[in-house]
Structure 1
Amino acid sequence: MELKHELSTLSLLKLISFLFWSGLYLQWAVDTEHSPEYCSRVVTLLHGLVASCVGLAQCGLKTFSPSSLTLPLTWSQYALMMWSWGYFAFDLMWCLIYWTKNAVMLIHHFSALAAINLYISKQNTGCIFACTIALLEITNPLLQTRWFLRNAGHNNTILFYVVEFTYLVMFVSLRGLFGTYLVYRIIKSETFGVYEKLITLALYLVSLIFIYEIVGYVLYKYRNKIEEFRGFGNELVFILQEQQ
């Protein structure tokens, strides 16, 4: 009976979180004339800001060490899991309704939901989840800001390029470097079981796919500018050599 009570409480908390994000989206969609994607990105921006800030605070960066990744789960970390589970469930539903072309994003959301379901049933996954959600969401506000600027017609402004460049550098460096470190610590740790390690690898592989797509985007968009910069550099070197 106790187990059933715990499961029903957990399900209720998940439902409340899902209804919160869905209600927030519907409220924005009804009160504004913006497109469904615009309203969804407003919700995504809110989750990204809160999840990254709270996640970083719960990571304990000032006292961070490999052993802190296996500290007991706290109530604040539990609340963060519930907060994020409802968001990912909402966004997955939205993607299935409006936007199903990006299979990688769907896999990302399925993996995130599976990870939260798994982590929330363990006693030593609070810190690792906080660090993971912060890592996944810290660049999200920049991504949404970039989209809003482009949607408003400001995609050729200095602000747009600054936001885009900052997002690209942070995404690749954080997920590529710190993400690799987290995966290494989890795989090496004896505290985490096989399922935790498998879901961690799944999220890591999704991140690598995103990094691959970002690198391809940079090469496609900035190839001409890179070639112009190289040409300018070669001309500058030639002029300096002639002056000598």
Structure 2
Amino acid sequence: MRHDLSVPNLLKLTSFVLWNWLYFFTVEYAPDKSPEWCCRVITFLHGSVATAVGLTQCQFRNLAPWHFSRKLSACQYFLMVWSWGYFAFDLLWCLVYWTESVVMLLHHITALVAITRYMQKDCAGCTYSCTLVLLEITNPVLQTRWFLKHEGYGNTTFYFIVEVLYLSMFLVLRGILGTYLMYYVFNTGYFDWEEKVLSLTFYVVSLAFVYDIAGYIRYKYRNEISEFREFYYATQIYTESEEFRRRALTHSEILNTM
């Protein structure tokens, strides 16, 4: 039986080969760098291009419901092919080096399944572009944070600004905006059941990341959080609220015992 390679599969395969070539090109011209460093260069490239192109395709400045029913454009299709090859490459890299969590692997697998299905739909270009931007817009900031720390700038003010920017963006975009978008997807008639399931899957994965980041914030900035609480409770002593007085005194006693 003869099996012909379809055009979409050929494009995805070409994209996958291209991303692997870019990775090995980086490895060859940066032999003193680790495999993770080279992979993060590729990740930074994908996140930057995906965000820039995605923003032009999701009509974020004038997003209207009818945009979700527009025909898939050539640029949106190219964006799908571009990202499919990257996620396939990154999934393979993670499986080879096994440096990422199960949540990250699930994220990549879900992305590959979603892109494959979106490529088969006639009117999913705007939906995909908006989803890609939401998922990738924080990635360049994340990679910048990693490179700064890796190169020894982890204790600088600039690193702190980049980290706070990344953490804030992630929590707001994935946590708050993502929740609103899930409500929008499930309460409008512009999305079929499959798009709703894919959106829900991405949302659950995002919540897992949000939970991890919240734990990271509580761990790394516990001293700053404690100082803020102490300052907040102390300022309430001069109010007439007995509840604030009690909480301030109790918190002060706890700090004195530590």
Tell me the TM-score normalised to structure 1 length. 0.91
- Name 1:102's counterpart in structure 2: 101
Q: Give me the whole-angstrom Cα distance separating, in 2, the residues matched to 1:48 and 1:13.
A: 20
Q: Can you give the 5+ residue segments of structure 1 that lack an aligned partner in the other structure?
A: none
Q: How many residues are paired up?
A: 238
Cα contact 2:68–2:190 (8 A) shared by 1: no
CA gap of 1:185–1:67, structure 2 versus 1, over 3 A, is: farther
What CA deviation, in whole Å up to 9, does each residue of 1:3-62 have, x standing for no partner? x99961111100111111100000111111100000000000000000011101111122
Which of 188-197 and 125-134 deviates more?
188-197
Alignment equivalent of 1:11, drawn from 9, 12, 31: 9
Which residue type is aligned with residue 13 of structure 1? L
Q: Which amino acid aligns with 1:60?
A: Q
8 Å contact from structure 1 (residues 70, 128) kept in 2: no
- Check whether the contact 1:66–1:185 (CA below 8 A) recurs between aligned residues: no
CA contact (8 A) 1:21 1:87 kept: yes
Residue 203 of structure 1, CA deviation: 0.9
After TM superposition, list the pairs within 5 Å mapping 1:86-125 onto structure 2: 86-125=85-124
Aligned-partner Cα distance in 2 for 1:145–1:84: 20
Asked if the contact 2:65–2:190 (Cα under 8 Å) also holds between the matched residues in 1, the reply is no
* Alpha-carbon distance, 1:197 to partner: 1.8
Deviations 1:107-154 (A, max 9, x none): 000000000001110011000000000010000000000000110111
The equivalent residue for 1:24 is 22
The share of aligned pairs that are identical, in percent, is 50
Aligned mates of 2:107, 2:194 — CA distance in 1 = 16
Cα distance in 2 for residues equivalent to 1:150 and 1:13: 36
Counterparts of residues 6-85 of structure 1 (less than 5 Å)? 8-32=6-30, 33-85=32-84
Which of 1 and 2 has higher RCO (CA within 8 Å, sep 6+)? 1
RMSD: 2.2
Structure 2 equivalent of residue 221 of structure 1 = 220
Deviations 1:170-204 (A, max 9, x none): 11111123222332333334443332221221111
State which structure, 1 or 2, has the greater radius of gyration over its C-alpha atoms: 2
Q: When the two structures are superposed, what TM-score results if normalisation uses the length of structure 2?
A: 0.86
TM-fit CA distance, 1:221: 0.7
Change (3 A) 1:214 1:156: same
Deviations 1:75-109 (CA, angstroms, capped at 9, x unpaired) = 10000000000000000000000125500000000
In the alignment, is the contact (CA less than 8 A) between 1:18 and 1:90 conserved in 2? yes
Paired residue type of 1:23: W
